[in-house]
Amino acid sequence: MKGIFMNAKDVQEFLDVSRTTAYQIINDMNQDLLNAGFIIPTGKEKN
């Protein structure tokens, strides 16, 4: 993991979940950020 963003592979390894679950976690977190008024890069979650 480099920088301040995590991709699906990083989330998968960090949480020991499947790739599909990692993508769902990222999507859920991104939706929470959008609902709070933040603009986010697609496919990344701030670390």
Each residue of 7-28: pLDDT tens digit?
899 999 999 999 999 999 999 9
- Residue whose entry in the numeric block shows the structure tokens 């929470």: 32
Radius of gyration of the chain measured on its C-alpha atoms: 10
2: confidence class by pLDDT, cuts 50, 70, 90: low
On whether the CB atoms of residues 1 and 14 are closer than 8 A, the answer is: yes
* Per-residue pLDDT at 37: 96
* Per-residue pLDDT at 11: 95
Instruction: Give the CB-side neighbour count of residue 6, counting CA atoms within 13 A.
Output: 19
* Per-residue pLDDT at 43: 56
* Per-residue pLDDT at 1: 55
For residue 42, is pLDDT > 80? no
